[in-house]
């Protein structure tokens, strides 16, 4: 995060180091601090488990920090210890994030002579010394010259590598719009404004969080006419023990951008990936994803997934591996490329698959290590403004809040995925703001007067036998299940 751009705290100079080769008190402080930094992770269940593997793209772009220099102030060496935890794949705890933020603020303030004019000569370390410590600013990422001409799987991989090179923002700064990000993460804006923020992200090359990564992914994929871009958000809960020894649960929210290949229908059997002759998964699937997270397993997905339910299941399994329970999954509609004032539907299919349950305490509001995507207050306002109009919308909201099993949820996701391929669904959402409501095949047959075993509709077409086929038929004949 921003710790990579840090300098030593005010008043500490390199001349304080001992002249001989014996380790000084500052070096000893770093050696003593390493176990305490690791031990503090017990306050967060997500950090207590084994770290997720770092993605290949991240590993290629990071320079491992050198050994601590006794000429560096203790504050810089402490930042270096935190940096090593992050590079090793271990997320920082809330306490470690607050400590890193204070160290960065002290270090950066040394570079400001007056006002907002930055004076690099006031820093206590030279660029070469920062480089030797592994704390120099990373180089700006660049895309290959033939980026838009690459095959889709390679394009997706290059786009993810570009996002990974910006690194995850573990610190943020208090002057940000919401106190934790460097850029605006307001999603209630038209596509043109969101892409303008993405241009700023690309230009400044500062660390980002998940919402900013989705904005940047929309910009990187703007010219990909062979795919649809669909946002998918997750709300999860993880158990932790507070200072009083009480077990509580904290909510986290995360968002990624699903990339759906056009002209390719979902796999007939969900959960079966395309395999080569050696039984290895290939990049010929219909679905992939772009994003960033503290955990590599919650970010990128290559083009190896045959259906939307399969790729969402992979995220659910990744959450289970780090001790999180998925509470809600929200899938939007394909993001339009034009006109610039077009709106983005971030939530169209909302499925509840878990409850926060007892012992939630103050966990509903999350805390500083939230991935900062969707706020439930925003959801409540949106629901109140739309559900108060008609009884039909009230029924829709009740259906969305109904607790589902994961098997029921994947049937809903597949049905929504089939329906969302029609532009009519987006146009209807843009006009009335209604969300997707899943109607089981048997229930729909009863509503339309068809026999339970299947029959013909008013146009003489045979009734569908799967939820996805039912949603696709409804989208095509002008009567989507909304």
Active site (catalytic) residues: 210, 254, 293
Task: Of 136, 190, 104, give the one whose Cα is nearest residue 430.
Answer: 190
Instruction: Count Cβ atoms within 10 A of the Cβ of residue 41 and give its class: 0-12 exposed, 13-18 middle, 19 or more buried.
Output: buried
Handedness of CA 108, 110, 114, 120 (dihedral sign): negative
**What DSSP string runs through 296-310?**
GGGS-EEEEESSHHH
Beta strand segments in 262-354, E = 287-290, 301-305, 324-331, 349-352
Q: DSSP letter for 281, please.
A: B
Rounded Cα–Cα distance for residues 79 and 83 (Å): 6
Rounded Cα–Cα distance for residues 1 and 209 (Å): 10
Give the residue ranges of DSSP H helices in 267-368: 308-321
Rounded Cα–Cα distance for residues 190 and 195 (Å): 9
Rounded Cα–Cα distance for residues 429 and 481 (Å): 12
Task: Of 89, 242, 111, give the one whose Cα is nearest residue 164.
Answer: 89
Write down how long the chain is. 482
Give the residue ranges of DSSP H helices in 402-459: 406-419, 423-432, 441-447
**What DSSP string runs through 2-41?**
GGGG--PPTT--GGGS-SSSS--HHHHHHHHHHHHHHHGG
Cis? peptide before 308, omega within 30° of 0:
no
Task: Of 414, 411, 402, give the one whose Cα is nearest residue 353.
Answer: 402
């Amino acid at each position: 995060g921003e710790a990579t751009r840090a300098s030593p705290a005010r008043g500490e100079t390199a001349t304080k180091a001992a002249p001989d080769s014996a380790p000084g008190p500052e070096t000893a402080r770093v050696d003593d601090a390493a176990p305490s930094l690791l031990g503090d992770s017990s306050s967060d269940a997500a950090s207590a488990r084994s770290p997720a593997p770092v993605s290949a793209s991240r590993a290629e772009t990071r320079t491992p920090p050198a050994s601590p220099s006794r000429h560096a102030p203790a504050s810089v060496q402490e930042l270096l210890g935190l940096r090593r935890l992050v590079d090793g794949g271990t997320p920082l705890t809330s306490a470690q994030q607050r400590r890193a933020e204070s160290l960065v603020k002290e270090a950066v303030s040394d570079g400001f002579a007056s006002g907002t004019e930055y004076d690099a000569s006031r820093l206590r370390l030279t660029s070469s010394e920062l480089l030797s410590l592994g704390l120099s600013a990373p180089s700006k990422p660049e895309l290959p010259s033939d980026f838009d001409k690459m095959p889709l799987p390679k394009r997706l991989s290059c786009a993810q590598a570009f996002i990974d090179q910006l690194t995850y923002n573990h610190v943020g700064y208090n002057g940000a719009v919401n106190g934790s990000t460097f850029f605006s993460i307001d999603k209630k804006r038209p596509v043109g404004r969101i892409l303008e923020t993405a241009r700023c992200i690309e230009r400044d090359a500062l660390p980002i969080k998940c919402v900013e990564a989705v904005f940047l992914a929309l910009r990187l994929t703007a010219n990909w006419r062979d795919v649809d871009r669909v946002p998918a958000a997750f709300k999860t809960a993880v158990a932790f023990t507070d200072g009083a020894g009480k077990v509580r649960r904290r909510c986290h929210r995360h968002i990624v951008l699903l990339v759906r290949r056009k002209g390719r229908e979902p796999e007939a059997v969900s959960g079966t990936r395309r395999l080569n002759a050696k039984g290895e998964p290939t990049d010929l699937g219909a679905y992939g994803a772009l994003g960033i997270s503290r955990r590599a397993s919650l970010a990128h997905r290559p083009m190896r997934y045959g259906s939307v339910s399969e790729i969402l299941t992979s995220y659910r399994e990744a959450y289970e591996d780090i001790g999180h329970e998925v509470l809600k999954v929200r899938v939007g509609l394909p993001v339009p490329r034009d006109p610039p004032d077009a709106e983005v539907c971030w939530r169209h299919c909302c499925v509840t698959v878990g409850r926060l349950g007892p012992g939630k305490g103050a966990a509903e509001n999350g805390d500083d290590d939230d991935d900062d995507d969707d706020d439930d207050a925003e959801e409540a306002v949106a629901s109140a403004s739309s559900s108060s109009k008609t009884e039909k919308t009230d029924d829709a909201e009740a259906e969305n809040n109904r607790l589902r099993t994961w098997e029921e949820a994947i049937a809903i996701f597949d049905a929504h995925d089939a329906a969302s391929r029609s532009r009519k669904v987006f146009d209807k959402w843009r006009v009335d703001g209604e969300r997707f409501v899943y109607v089981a095949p048997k229930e729909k047959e009863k509503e339309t007067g068809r026999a339970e075993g299947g029959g013909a509709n008013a146009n003489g077409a045979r009734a569908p036998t799967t939820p996805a086929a039912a949603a696709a038929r409804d989208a095509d004949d002008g009567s989507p299940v909304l």
